[in-house]
Amino acid sequence: MSETAKKNIKKGDVLIREGDRGDSAYVIESGSVEILILRGGNLMQIGTRGPGSIIGEMAMIDDKPRTATIRAIEDCTVIEISRADFAHRVESADPIVKMVMRVIMARYRDMIARTQFMQMPAYMTAAVENAENSGELHDLAVNAIKIHNELKAALEKGQLVLFFQPIVAVQEMKIAGFEALMRWRHPEKGLISPGVFIPVAEESGLITEMSHWALGVSCDALKAIHAVVNPGTTDAHGPFVSVNFSVKDFSAGNFSKQIKSVLQSKKINPANIHLEITESLLMEAPGAAKDALEECRSFGTSVSIDDFGTGYSSLSYLHHFPIDSLKIDQSFIRAMSRDPASEILVKSIIGLAHNMNIKVIAEGIETPEEAAMLKKMGCEECQGYWFAKPMPLEDLLTFVKNWTPPLIA
Ligand code: C2E
Ligand code: CA
Ligand code: CA
């Protein structure tokens, strides 16, 4: 994807020149600009635009010459949106949005072609622009572009970090593996939770780059962990690292190839990497996801269904999918100690999963009672604050070295 970036424009600078070809539009973040057209050799001002306005948006459609000159009346900051970036956004949008965008763009192009003959007066073009620049939709779009740009910069500046949370094999009371969980170390706002920025990244398509990054960092972490756990050996059965993926990661169509090439270049045994996919992802894109996961399993990576029980799938549906384990969502674990019906539910999920040869991981264990109940039910692995919170790699290595299994009834 091409760059979207902030630019500072000095008072009097020309951002867009009439007659030039351009492939970027701009969102004014601060300051204001004037719109000028050349008439009889003189520049005539036909309007001004301030923060929140989009200018030069025709470039999103084609590379026809610019129809006006845009000059800064005061110092401005603008966010540049390139045509390639815009096309990428349209491509990665929800199918309905994508379809509507295509129709609108085709009609807009058509309208422009016709009005060129009619010589639409400038005040009319300005009115059209004003109508498009107002409203909530516009604010949302501008906000999403802003966060997208900040997030992209964060990725480039190394502000994204992975924390790791231990997953414990409760029958043997050994560390089975770790889940990689993303954090944004914001210079002013501090640690930002993935619940805030992952949805934005999914929306804008940046998630693919972030997932790729997370997989690479997880591979490096795995090597560091193995160096502590099995110094001098490369044990295929040592602890695993589980990495989260989103529905957008599958839309490119080369998911399994990408995974394979990262694992190969990092020289990681695929058995030590688990892929976590939410249950709702499987429901959204069963065909594509199923094939991609099948391929990943064929070269040895394990696949876990995340947040099991929160989507719409039924247990009977599970055998359609190529999976090795399922992670019972923490809401069930929370309910379990309060309510006998939930306990029965968890017990039957474990039983049915085992009948299908699927391992069970319970999430969100906060008390020794929960751990004891799950151990008794035959659940293989548990993850939760009671064992350990997610932590930076450095702390994790110390944690692994000093690990003494807690006592469970
Ligand atoms: P998740 O995959 O279900 O991750 C488990 C979440 O439960 C983590 O929240 C973890 O910190 C939290 N947790 C673990 N043990 C306990 C516990 O005992 N009690 C409670 N109350 N919570 C516990 P976190 O780290 O805030 O992540 C939230 C979600 O963000 C994740 O949910 C996952 O969906 C998403 N996410 C995080 N990292 C990534 C990533 O690298 N890629 C993608 N696509 N999504 C990610
Ligand atoms: Ca997860
Ligand atoms: Ca989960």
* Last residue in a domain, options 132, 151, 170: 151
**Is ligand 1 within 6 A of the CB of residue 279?**
no
What's the angle, vertex CA 321, arms to CA 317 and CA 327, rounded to 5?
A: 80
**Is ligand 1 within 6 A of the CB of residue 299?**
no
Shared-domain flag, residues 93 and 235: no
Q: Considering only CA atoms, which residue is closest to atom 42 of ligand 1?
A: 244
Cβ neighbours of residue 305 closer than 8 Å, sequence gap 6 or more: 276, 277, 278, 279, 282, 318, 321, 323, 325, 326, 327
Shared-domain flag, residues 183 and 291: yes
Q: Considering only CA atoms, which residue is closest to atom 25 of ligand 1?
A: 181
pLDDT for residue 260: 97
Ligand approaching nearest to the C-alpha of 181: 1
Q: Considering only CA atoms, which residue is closest to atom 9 of ligand 1?
A: 181
Residue to mutate, 151, 155, 161, 181, ligand 1, most ligand atoms under 8 Å from C-beta: 181
Shared-domain flag, residues 209 and 272: yes
Shared-domain flag, residues 43 and 188: no
pLDDT for residue 95: 65
Q: 409 lies in a domain?
A: no
Contact 36, 43 (CB under 8 A): yes
**Is ligand 1 within 6 A of the CB of residue 194?**
yes
Residue to mutate, 183, 244, 255, 333, ligand 1, most ligand atoms under 8 Å from C-beta: 244
pLDDT for residue 109: 65
**Is ligand 1 within 6 A of the CB of residue 366?**
yes
**Cα of 327 to ligand 3 centre, how many Å?**
6
* Last residue in a domain, options 119, 151, 183: 151
Considering the entire predicted model, what is its pTM?
Answer: 0.73
Q: For residue 225, give the nearest of 242, 210, 201 by alpha carbon.
A: 242
- Domain with 167, as residue range(s), is 158-401
**Cα of 173 to ligand 1 centre, how many Å?**
22
- C-alpha neighbours within 13 Å on the C-beta side of residue 367: 9
Shared-domain flag, residues 136 and 192: no
Q: 127 lies in a domain?
A: yes
**Cα of 181 to ligand 1 centre, how many Å?**
6
pLDDT digits (tens, 9 = 90+) for 318-376: 777 889 999 999 999 999 988 999 999 999 999 999 999 999 999 999 999 999 999 99
Low-confidence ranges of the chain (pLDDT < 50): 1-3, 116-121, 123-124, 127-128, 131-132
Q: 407 lies in a domain?
A: no
Ligand approaching nearest to the C-alpha of 370: 1
Shared-domain flag, residues 164 and 110: no
Q: Tally the domains of the chain.
A: 2
Shared-domain flag, residues 335 and 222: yes
**Is ligand 1 within 6 A of the CB of residue 328?**
no
Q: How far is it, in rounded angstroms, from Cα 153 to Cα 14?
A: 26
Q: How far is it, in rounded angstroms, from Cα 270 to Cα 409?
A: 35
Shared-domain flag, residues 92 and 164: no
User: Which ligand 1 atom minimizes the distance to the CA of 390?
Assistant: 11
Q: Considering only CA atoms, which residue is closest to atom 43 of ligand 1?
A: 244
Q: 271 lies in a domain?
A: yes
pLDDT for residue 202: 85
pLDDT for residue 52: 87
* Last residue in a domain, options 117, 151, 185: 151
- CATH code, domain carrying 80: 2.60.120.10
